Structure 1
Amino acid sequence: MTGEIQLTDEQRRAVEHFTGPLLVVAGPGAGKTRIIVERVAHLMDERGAEPSSIVVITFTRKAADELKERIIRRVGGRAEEMQISTIHSFCNRILRMYPDHHPLGSNFHVLDEENQLMFIYEHREQLGLGNVQRERFPRIQAFFSECQENMVDLETLIEHHRRTGARKFEMTVAEAYQRYLNLMDEAGLLDFAGMQWRVVRLLENDRKVLDDLRSRYRFLMVDEYQDTNPIQERFLELLAGEECNLFAVGDEDQSIYGFRGSTPENFLGFEKKYGAEVVMLEKNFRSVPSIVDVTQRFMDGYRKYPKDIRPVRDSENRVFILDNPTHQDEPSNVVEIIRALVDHGVIPHQGYVTLLFRSVKHDAVEIMNELRREGIPFNVYGEGGFFDREEILYIMHLLHHTRRERRKIIRKLKYEHLEGEFMDLTPGSVNLILDMDEEELRGLREYREFREAGFTDPDDIRKLVALNSLIDSDLGVLERYYEILELTEYPHRLLERGDDESREKLYNLARFSSLIKDYERVSSEPCVEGLMEFIRMAMSRGVKKYDQILLENPYSVNMMTMHRAKGLEFPVVIICSVFNGKLPRKVQGRSELELPEELRRSTIRSDVMEEEEEEEEETEKEERRLFYVGMTRAQDMLIISATGNHRGRLGYSEFIEDLIESSRITSDRLGRIDPEDARIEIIKNSCQVEDIETREIFRISFTELNTYLTCPFRYMLLYEYGFDVPSTRDQLYGMAVHECLRRINRRLMRGETVTDDYLQELASHALRDIEMSPDGFRAFISKLKRYLDEIRSRASEIVSAEKPFSILRDCFMITGQTDLIIRNLEGGLELVDFKSMSGSGIHARDIELQLGVYRHALNLDFDGFLAYTFEDSEWHEIEPTEDMEGLLEDVAERIRREEFPPRENELCSLCIFHSICTSLHGKLEAGSGEEDDLRRAFRALDPEDMDGYVEAIEGITGYLRDSSDPEVRARAADYIGEAGDAVALDALREALSDPEEGVRIAARRAIERIKKAQRALKENYRTLICGRDFFRPKKIHTREGQFVVCRVCGHSKFLEDGVEEVVGIIGDEEYSWRQEDRLFISMWDEESKRARNADIDTLWVTDSDNMDYGWAINAVYQRLKNDVTRAKPLSEIPVTIRGDPQISEEEIDILRRFGEIRIG
């Protein structure tokens, strides 16, 4: 394996390491990600390790996604069996793997840091913090997390406070800590730190779970190990066990997250604690020699592990310190350098340049203003500013206006916010509003009242009446938000304009919908007033999650913090504002809320460290490491902007002095330049890296894919812009059903019993957020029991429950997970998807597509594909879509081209974006005559409307052949395939030459469906067809010999030798003992040459107590009437009625369309 890849000797040592602990000390640009990927391949290919035994941990979701992509490219689909994720995701998975071993089960939700703060502030009264100033809540949140990260229980904390004489506020927060944990448990919520603590306690207290995980996960690989905190280190220690195949990769020089609880102690003590081998990766593949040399000298003397980092690249470039006369000169000098680099061809465009700051929010404003003045575009990350955006102020004011309380919550919101484009009111209406008292305006309700108040514009009055009606509304906050968007038609106008400014506004409006959804999730009684209270607190503290969204441009200058830049690399880096007192930042005193040092849990004994480091000294070292991280992001050029006169404070940053002193003997590497010389000196450098504009992998889940196929416009709003929408009861119910079935299947996989008591507890937990009557709950339990009986009788083995998959191609990646894979009683594999509805509610095309994607991704040899509908406890045989590769590539390319047209379907009227869609595109029925006619033709295929069937098929075929709209042609092909009628096969074959790929794909899909629908009638042996849905015939399973078996329901029929008659039977007790409302037709083809001509000699109608004869007779008639393989006309097939079936005159009329009716 490693012979195919160029590796250094040290890299090879790391890659080929097999068992036992290993510490990989990887300097900047050392290729550590490559090492992780190659070691994964080596473990599988050379050491025979099972993919499922390998865990790879990273510290950001983006890093995990990118690493997974690289591993998939290296080892293929086997990567799906690995655990590649953040440590938070891994802990989440463990809790969901063992729901019966901890109180939360699996129906819990994990809050990120911002939502954790929202929860604390929303429940401040219950926590006993009602009188605490809102500015203190972010620190309270950090304290709660710090306690959990160090595994501190309430008793220990209180006892310490009493012993040391803590202040009243500290004691109040300590008491709130336990209330917080209790409230979170009651709500089924976990924060990040709490989730990790919960897992550690599970592993410490449940030996069975610990042993199971250790046997399952034998090889642990952790990237950025220096960023672990105490609870994470304890988790990894427990999981590694005595075997301790722990592969830790990191760099003490890049430990910069002390404010999050991370400590380099875990990394520095790893060798001694575990007796680990150490591999040093000291070759830098990223940066030119001057950058490597200057940064190396800067860190010498501040490391435990001495490094001799050597560059692989060659260049004569120098590192420059830009010496600004004062801090006020920095913006113009930095911008002048950027312009010079482009003007003299050193870089092809400004996108090569990245400006790094200690804080973008506090340090970058003047440089941003200078860039704007000079017309240089820029991308800014981490600026904040979300709540200051114009459109956000507008929507906040309008929501605030609809509150029920008279009290004004956010005083920053004024009626001037009604003056802009959001409400789009006329100047006359705006002037009237500005002259009115707020409560006077809020008190108006009727159209007449607004007229009497002086309003004259009808559209303005309509909007204001609709807005004020929300004051009295019982709508949830998110539903209210969408009502405001609808009545203002603001999104419609932004979409219509379509420029970058409008798109940015839509992105930020979408983010505001997420904020509301988060708030509704954490609040027990969500209301506008509560949301506004949280926003008021967030505005005062600048919650980081709610940075404004600005569109990225690859040709623009990038601006970000050094913390954010960690793990990235850029051709040209300018570190700005390296001023005395700013970088390094002056060490602050202790916070009023800090976990006492003696309660901080260090997994490394104090004697591991060469000397005990004081907190202040460690903070200074972290500042140095932060600056080092910033400098080592540079590939070709590094410029450090400094001044000796920062706001009257004389003297340079000590880091500048250290750089000059440490590089004094190598002045060819470091140059100190005045602004006047900057242009001349810097343009002597070169930039060798390739163009940085690359085509990123397009990632999409199956849910997103299906949404796009249903309606691209809805996909755009949900997944491109990111609008969050209110959860419906059906969605919550569906999640509860899936959760229950998943847990049942997992127990069965482990050989554990499923008792009635367990089902009761399981259902109670899963349905916690759903209102349900006692009768409804009992019915739910009954359905769970039926499923349990069904799966036991159908499966000899449950192979997997919720198996993840991915499909990776050059430009896109599709991810998802299956519901269930079983081995049937005959030993074949079957793929099952669960639907919480009944069989009549499933849409054939959707489920065929879904199982087609799953089959394509898993690449396994399945004997069957099934949908299990929970409401009626039925199994449905499905024929998956065949041509998945072309479909997936077509969808991915359409999304890349930003093709998001609306597509009408039966759910349009229920869609929350319906008003926006119709405002923008008009009513789809009226706007597309062909679409409307095509839809009506398809509806004419209903089995109840038998006379119009042929005419409807011909009409649909006409659209396939003649429409000029490729969307209509593709839809027509889909309709024909859904009907399963072979009459239109010729037209479908012609469509295989259609110039549009989408039409060709739809035609191929339809042809395959029709062929499969007719396959049962072409097979040369006895078959029994279970025909509940004759309009879409089911696939048939048969056995050689005298027995014929229906695969769908499991019924069988013994046929005597020599029987040549083919009989259709409705309602016979012999066949309906288990599923009385089922319908069976037995068919026998006596000659193999006549496989296309199944002879049906007699239709039998027999007595049955539980038969819907009207439906069944209609279905049989429709099925036989449209069967192109039928040899006899209907008028030659006699009907025999036996017993006394309850048949109406209308049904007798249908039977008369057959041959002679006999009684007997």
Structure 2
Amino acid sequence: FISRCRKTELSPQTLLQQIAVHKSKWQVEADFLDIMVELYGDYLTCLKVEGKEDFDGLLRRATAEIAAGQTEFTRFMKKQHGDLAKLRFLLIDEYQDFSKLFHSMVEAIRQRNTDLKLFCVGDDWQAINGFAGSDLSYYENFSSNFPNSKQLQISTNYRSAKGVVAVGNAVMRGRGKPAIAHSADSGHVWMAMPGLFAPTVNEQTRHGDDKITPMVLRLAAWALERNQDIVVLCRTQNPLGFVNYKAHQGADGGSQDNGIERFQVLLRSYFPEHLRSKIKVSTAHGFKGLQGSVVVILDAVAGCYPLIHQDWIFLRLFGESVQTITDEARRLFYVALTRAVDSLVIFTDGNKKSPFLADVEQHFPLRSIKWADFAAVAAKSDRLKVFVGNQLDRGSSPTHAIKDFVQQDGYKRSSLYGNFCWVRSFAQSDLNINTLTSSKWSECADGVEVHILDEQDNLVGNYRIDAGKWTALMEYSSKA
């Protein structure tokens, strides 16, 4: 709130006047505004008393200096000198993110330099910083602010494959001239639903209910095999969905945080050191202006696109509304999609798709990804999994009878080949048949079948246990 006040150059007195004519819809909104008038005044007083300044204040001071005639400047540790009054050209990039503070500074420069030529570059489809005080109206009213100016449309997309450009156009349909792909390559655009993902036995054992990690790992391996980089984009600092960090035994660096940095460390841990820098995890906001060969949108669901926080009501004074938030969220979704150069994978949920994705599907059919084309990624360590289940013709009683013993031995609930079982992971060097046959649950087992699988889901041992007696269907060798 204070940042918005600063960026719109409001004084405490002007703020009070605006609040006086503002019609609050809720009592909590009115109470908040009453509090903020006092807090805003205290904030400015504190800056003055302590001799400090915020960034917006620095801009205001600089603008005042220019307006007063101080146009000379130095930069690079005073190694370069210049004079704003003598500049010929002023280039303004990302003009869609302009604000009143910056506009005031430019106007002050123009007052001191009437021959100055402006060259502004912007894309209203990428205006995603309204939350930080940017005001798209300066872009939309460019001709009014700068009479006798010329506007040129640059609609060619030199970054992305045709399929990616088409998806971006579908999101922004009816909101301006569509982009044209310079590339003749169609690229890849897929939709992926975690609910439809069928993990391998190894993936299910290692990741449990976490489907996000094995899905992204498969895509990362596919990208790296093609000598491409991969970027995973999240709407917030925390990846959507359950990520089973406990299963990775410190591969994530041992962090207790659940943010994108931890997820990035986890993903990278599955690949050789020299390839890890090709795997990035970022927020959609943080990756604006950048690109990746393969881009994964991790959370194209309602509640993320758009993400409407309940505290939006406290910014109604500045024109905030559900519609303005939704419009900006659509533009953010467009930015996220168009970071992809070659391949785009959109994770969503069939029951709660983002409405923006639903708009895409009306004009651009999205193909579901075929996971059979993407190999599962095994852990680097040589570990084995021991599955303790029921013999097919013995029902569920055999494992039920020994459940307390297998749990005491560290086994967890799981499934194998579609059937319930108990599973435990062993380091290959620690496992031999004597380890299993001497266990308490083995002595009591009757009608039980044991499968031993390696990290690639290869069966390396298979036994039946009847009345505590083991019969080998496939003998396990510790050298396997």
Say whether the fold is shared (TM-score over 0.5): yes
The secondary structure found in structure 2 opposite 1:560 is: strand
Q: Which amino acid aligns with 2:235?
A: R
Compute the displacement of 1:286 (Å). Answer: 1.6
Q: Which amino acid aligns with 1:147?
A: C
In the aligned structure 1, how far is the partner of 2:123 from the partner of 2:42?
A: 39
Q: Is the 8 A contact 1:378 1:557 kept in 2?
A: no
Other-structure match for 2:478: none
% same residue: 23
Mapped pair 1:176 → 2:33: no
Other-structure match for 2:60: 197
Compute the displacement of 1:152 (Å). Answer: 1.0
Compute the displacement of 1:165 (Å). Answer: 8.8
Other-structure match for 1:209: 70
Compute the displacement of 1:160 (Å). Answer: 3.9
Q: Which amino acid aligns with 1:175?
A: E
Other-structure match for 1:631: 337
Other-structure match for 1:659: 360
Q: Is the 8 A contact 2:63 2:105 kept in 1?
A: yes
Mapped pair 1:317 → 2:180: no
Q: Is the 8 A contact 2:160 2:181 kept in 1?
A: yes
Q: 1:596 aligns with which of 287, 309, 317?
A: 317
Mapped pair 1:235 → 2:105: yes
Q: CA RMSD in A?
A: 3.9
Compute the displacement of 1:344 (Å). Answer: 8.9
Q: Is the 8 A contact 1:150 1:230 kept in 2?
A: yes
Q: 2:93 aligns with which of 209, 223, 229?
A: 223
Other-structure match for 1:640: 346
| 1:264/1:379 CA distance change after superposition, 3 Å | farther
Q: 1:580 aligns with which of 302, 327, 344?
A: 302
User: After superposition, where does 1:498-513 map in structure 2 within 5 Å?
Assistant: none
Other-structure match for 2:371: 678
Other-structure match for 2:226: 347
Q: Which amino acid aligns with 1:315?
A: D
Q: Report the structure number with the largest CA radius of gyration.
A: 1
Q: Is the 8 A contact 1:580 1:644 kept in 2?
A: no
Q: 1:615 aligns with which of 321, 325, 336?
A: 321
Other-structure match for 2:415: none
Mapped pair 1:145 → 2:3: yes
Compute the displacement of 1:179 (Å). Answer: 3.1
In the aligned structure 1, how far is the partner of 2:223 from the partner of 2:91?
A: 46
In the aligned structure 1, how far is the partner of 2:104 from the partner of 2:121?
A: 17
Mapped pair 1:338 → 2:217: yes
User: After superposition, where does 1:953-992 map in structure 2 within 5 Å?
Assistant: none
In the aligned structure 2, how far is the partner of 1:270 from the partner of 1:655?
A: 28
Other-structure match for 1:274: 146
Compute the displacement of 1:635 (Å). Answer: 0.9
Other-structure match for 1:107: none
Mapped pair 1:296 → 2:169: yes
In the aligned structure 1, how far is the partner of 2:181 from the partner of 2:256?
A: 31
Compute the displacement of 1:584 (Å). Answer: 1.9
Q: Which blocks of at least 5 consecutive residues in structure 1 are unaligned? A: 1-142, 387-499, 502-550, 601-613, 646-650, 665-669, 684-1160
User: After superposition, where does 1:398-477 map in structure 2 within 5 Å?
Assistant: none
In the aligned structure 1, how far is the partner of 2:165 from the partner of 2:254?
A: 28
Compute the displacement of 1:220 (Å). Answer: 0.9
The secondary structure found in structure 1 opposite 2:302 is: coil
The secondary structure found in structure 2 opposite 1:147 is: helix
Other-structure match for 2:291: 569
| 1:247/1:572 CA distance change after superposition, 3 Å | same
User: After superposition, where does 1:890-909 map in structure 2 within 5 Å?
Assistant: none
The secondary structure found in structure 2 opposite 1:250 is: coil
Mapped pair 1:154 → 2:17: no
Compute the displacement of 1:336 (Å). Answer: 3.5
In the aligned structure 2, how far is the partner of 1:286 from the partner of 1:370?
A: 38
In the aligned structure 2, how far is the partner of 1:313 from the partner of 1:171?
A: 55
Mapped pair 1:185 → 2:48: yes
In the aligned structure 1, how far is the partner of 2:55 from the partner of 2:150?
A: 32
The secondary structure found in structure 2 opposite 1:360 is: coil
Q: Is the 8 A contact 2:125 2:334 kept in 1?
A: yes
Q: Which amino acid aligns with 2:40?
A: Y
Compute the displacement of 1:217 (Å). Answer: 3.0
Greater CA deviation, 561-570 or 331-340?
331-340
Compute the displacement of 1:644 (Å). Answer: 1.7
Compute the displacement of 1:316 (Å). Answer: 4.1
In the aligned structure 2, how far is the partner of 1:382 from the partner of 1:230?
A: 37
| 1:373/1:643 CA distance change after superposition, 3 Å | farther
Q: Is the 8 A contact 2:188 2:342 kept in 1?
A: no
Compute the displacement of 1:671 (Å). Answer: 1.5
Deviations 1:139-165 (A, max 9, x none): xxxx22221211111222234445669
In the aligned structure 2, how far is the partner of 1:244 from the partner of 1:259?
A: 31
Compute the displacement of 1:209 (Å). Answer: 2.5
User: After superposition, where does 1:695-1094 map in structure 2 within 5 Å?
Assistant: none
Deviations 1:317-337 (A, max 9, x none): 321011332799995266245
| 1:341/1:560 CA distance change after superposition, 3 Å | closer
Number of residue-to-residue matches in the alignment = 341
Q: Is the 8 A contact 1:149 1:197 kept in 2?
A: no
Compute the displacement of 1:313 (Å). Answer: 2.7
TM-score (norm 1): 0.27
Compute the displacement of 1:265 (Å). Answer: 1.3
| 1:282/1:323 CA distance change after superposition, 3 Å | same
| 1:193/1:552 CA distance change after superposition, 3 Å | farther
Q: Is the 8 A contact 2:2 2:40 kept in 1?
A: yes
TM-score (norm 2): 0.61
| 1:631/1:384 CA distance change after superposition, 3 Å | closer
The secondary structure found in structure 2 opposite 1:578 is: coil
Compute the displacement of 1:619 (Å). Answer: 1.4
Deviations 1:751-802 (A, max 9, x none): xxxxxxxxxxxxxxxxxxxxxxxxxxxxxxxxxxxxxxxxxxxxxxxxxxxx
Deviations 1:906-938 (A, max 9, x none): xxxxxxxxxxxxxxxxxxxxxxxxxxxxxxxxx
Q: Which amino acid aligns with 1:288?
A: A
In the aligned structure 1, how far is the partner of 2:246 from the partner of 2:186?
A: 31
Compute the displacement of 1:672 (Å). Answer: 2.6
In the aligned structure 1, how far is the partner of 2:337 from the partner of 2:194?
A: 19
Compute the displacement of 1:624 (Å). Answer: 0.7
Q: Is the 8 A contact 1:380 1:560 kept in 2?
A: no
Other-structure match for 1:1134: none
Structure with the bigger percentage of helix: 1
Structure with the bigger percentage of strand: 2
| 1:285/1:377 CA distance change after superposition, 3 Å | farther
In the aligned structure 1, how far is the partner of 2:54 from the partner of 2:224?
A: 50
Q: Is the 8 A contact 2:305 2:354 kept in 1?
A: yes
Q: Which amino acid aligns with 1:311?
A: A
